[in-house]
Structure 1
């Protein structure tokens, strides 16, 4: 593939990401103005949508990777199954305008978070049991430590959404603090964790394409700005929120554009998409980048709620 073609493909990927990000945020804005009982329910629905996007990413990624591993361990069926259940619960929650939680949805999301935690422990064991233990080679090519983190985050976002619905409309609180502040901190931490996984995998790829620096710079800055907006004193709150909101919209587009760049990576492999059965497994993971979009959208919902608290 020529350099001009690569540049053109990259520009198309970025444009597609921007369009998808605009469409998603517009739909969330319409949902916010729907006949919901309160702003905390609108924020809960936005977190449900973020949870759904993370669950979809985990479902596709875990199914592909565990299939590549031949489902050698029966426990490898758990992650795709739980991710599928989490996706259904999150989509149901996104359409639900009631101001009280759904016990089955909540139980599924708690199970999703627990499965992600257990999966991280299993993957850590897979790395440490190999010769060299926590070596760069094992971190690159053994079970990816960051992969179950997306399922954990999906469960956390979904569970938090259910807890938020049960809060009083006039003063919703989570973890002993105003709900918007707590939600912004949760989404900010998630952005840092997802960026750490991207940093490891892109380091393995030697940052051979300039776009590979984007997720390890844009996403952490977005997480930092989001957490700063959550903790900023009232006199600086408006400016901090406006700056964080603009950066999170860029992060939302980054996730969708990243999927386009990963598709380009698959196309550049030997045989391209004609050899999809091999290149999808050997190339960059298509389901991974939308995780940034999911967390950025959750952060935008948290900022909207934080502004009403002030």
Structure 2
């Protein structure tokens, strides 16, 4: 396999760093119109503060997914030698999304931010386009849409992580701008239930991607069954909460989301152990990280679990949401 030369690596690092810096500067320095400041000054009180806190949790969830995408796409596209220059796109967009999410997490204002909205929508569009590219690359291989190509071709579900990051970030801005007397909505839909439904669907898709790759690994370790069994249960719980009656506490669902968040971070340790089992172990890290189980993939479950907790929290504070 032909590896990228030094100029490609410098370009990659430059894109990621410059994207992160650009988003940070834009988010921190963009002035706020006076008319919107006047509106924000009226958004005070306990109810508004709780809504802003939930929005910040959604920003954190979007940022966790962005970190996973940034690291995972960097490794996988480096392994693919950046054959197509468009392969740099998810690195830049995920770096922008990460910076934007950090800004949103630190922002205490009950006001949506135009720059954050634009970045999250760009992330969602990048995820859709990336899914199309991956499907196209699988289809053009010899044998077309076969199990062999799904196992070893471009991971068809991977770009959906940046799509989910963008969607959750966009939802956070809609929740944030809800005034203290209003009902949190996203496109006229109850915000809490919408977030729970989106997160449940995301858990199902992410579990499907993990199931495909773990099936390729023949489930040689019994723990490989965990990310294909626990997340679908969590998805069912979230979808039930989204469709259930108002006023429910969802205590068990919240605990299950915490379990999924823990699973996401513990999964990095299991993947690191899988890397160490390859020939040469961590002494041959530059080769084994490329060929071993992907270290950045499991935290995507943690990001979705955090989003699920935020959606449940919104439903608890606003029963009509």
Band of TM-score, shorter chain = 0.7 to 0.9
Asked if residue 290 in structure 1 is aligned to residue 299 in structure 2, the reply is yes
Asked if residue 153 in structure 1 is aligned to residue 167 in structure 2, the reply is no
**Counterpart position of 2:308:** 299
Cα deviation, residue 36, structure 1: 8.8
**Counterpart position of 2:173:** 162
Give the TM-score taking structure 2 as reference length: 0.83
Given that 2:151 and 2:216 are in contact with CA atoms closer than 8 Å, whether structure 1 keeps it comes out as: yes
Cα deviation, residue 105, structure 1: 1.1
Cα distance in 2 for residues equivalent to 1:65 and 1:234: 43
Cα distance in 2 for residues equivalent to 1:234 and 1:111: 34
Count of residues paired in the alignment: 274
Show CA shifts across 1:28-50 (max 9, x none).
xxxxxxx8943221111111001
Asked if residue 246 in structure 1 is aligned to residue 243 in structure 2, the reply is no
Asked if residue 124 in structure 1 is aligned to residue 135 in structure 2, the reply is yes
Aligned runs of 1:80-229 on 2, under 5 Å?
80-170=91-181, 171-229=183-241
Cα distance in 2 for residues equivalent to 1:225 and 1:36: 26
Mind listing any 5+ residue stretches in structure 2 that lack a counterpart?
A: 1-45
Cα distance in 2 for residues equivalent to 1:69 and 1:227: 37
224-233 or 204-213, larger mean C-alpha shift: 224-233
Larger CA Rg, structure 1 vs 2: 2
Given that 2:66 and 2:98 are in contact with CA atoms closer than 8 Å, whether structure 1 keeps it comes out as: yes
Moved over 3 A (4+): none
Given that 2:47 and 2:180 are in contact with CA atoms closer than 8 Å, whether structure 1 keeps it comes out as: no
Show CA shifts across 1:238-258 (max 9, x none).
3xx011111111111110111
Given that 1:178 and 1:309 are in contact with CA atoms closer than 8 Å, whether structure 2 keeps it comes out as: no
Distance verdict in 2 for CA 1:297–1:251, change over 3 Å: same
Given that 1:58 and 1:150 are in contact with CA atoms closer than 8 Å, whether structure 2 keeps it comes out as: yes
Cα distance in 1 for residues equivalent to 2:99 and 2:180: 26
Mind listing any 5+ residue stretches in structure 1 that lack a counterpart?
A: 1-34
Coordinate RMSD, CA, aligned: 1.5
Aligned runs of 1:57-96 on 2, under 5 Å?
57-96=68-107
Q: Which has the higher helix share?
A: 1
**Counterpart position of 2:280:** 271
Cα deviation, residue 223, structure 1: 1.1
Greater relative CO (CA pairs within 8 A, separation 6+): 1
Cα deviation, residue 301, structure 1: 1.2
